[in-house]
Amino acid sequence: MQTEKEQKRMGRDKLQRIIEMCIAIENHQVDPFTLDVDDIIKMIQEYFPKWEKPDDFNLDSEAIHHLATVIKLQSEWVKQRSTSLYTDPFLLEEKIRQARKEQMVSIFLKAWHPAVEMEQLSLHSLREAYLYWNSLLTLEERWKELEVTETAIGSATRSEMIKERILSDKYFTEEMAIFWEELKLTTLERGKDGKIRYWDFIGAETYEETIQRAFMTSFLITYGYATLEIRPLEEELFIKPFEKVVEKLATKQLVSIPLALSHEEWQKWKKGELK
């Protein structure tokens, strides 16, 4: 026969275990339905008349509090699974495996609303095509072989490359720093809001020089001396020089932006037809 003291000790142990179990459920370590709420309540009721000390009452109320949280979790679980938004992935997978292809198609067609799109020629597009065809050179002319004279393979010195204008006589970084200063100055003079139109900066008297400037500008942007601002709606392109070199650009993933620099574009710019 257990003494009253032993019964109280056992009761405290049980309450302690209930609290620990409830905390594990609250922390999502255990399934909320592993706890039989009715049994637990009966047990709490059984020991309640034996409590006399405040500590025991505290333990009792703590157990009730945690039990209430578990009941709330159980109710949420039931609510979630009873709504139409919940789909048991295993059940669904099983259905997919079992379904015959005809059945799958029949179901799919009820949920499929394909996009409608049309392709049609218009008078305008025909006219454009006609104009294009007229301006198109014959294959013979387009594929005309370039007259290239064969030369022997040799090596070139730095001074020769400078002479041929392949390399500059200045060091590249030095050249880039000068070009950056020019960009800042030009932006200040001809730009607006700290930026300048791309073509207004790279455009030069000759096409060769324009290409050279575009080449240098691309390095300014890549190495964080300046940035490009693209307005797709207005089809406008600006260069914005930075006051200081932005080094974090190198740590980000770089994006390449191809820009057309055809002779035609350059001529348009010269005539003031290009934005």
Applying CB under 8 A, the residues found at the interface with other proteins are 84, 87, 89, 91-93, 95-120, 233
Contact 229, 182 (CB under 8 A): no
Q: Which is nearer to other proteins, 117 or 193 (CB)?
A: 117
In the DSSP assignment, the letter for residue 248 is G
Pick the closer one to other proteins by CB: 98 or 151: 98
Dist CA 113 CA 19 (whole Å): 53
Report the run of H or E that residue 228 belongs to, with start and end. strand 226-231
What separation in angstroms does the CA of 198 have from each of 179, 206, 215, 226, 254? 14, 16, 12, 12, 19
Min dist. Cβ of residue 13 to other proteins (A): 42
Nearest distance from C-beta of residue 124 to other proteins, angstroms? 12
Nearer to other proteins, 87 or 155 (CB): 87
Polymer length of the chain = 275
Nearest to 14 by CA among 50, 55, 63, 51: 63
Give the residue with the Cβ less far from other proteins, 87 or 135: 87
Least separation in angstroms between residue 239's CB and other proteins is: 24
CB of 238 to other proteins, least distance (A): 20
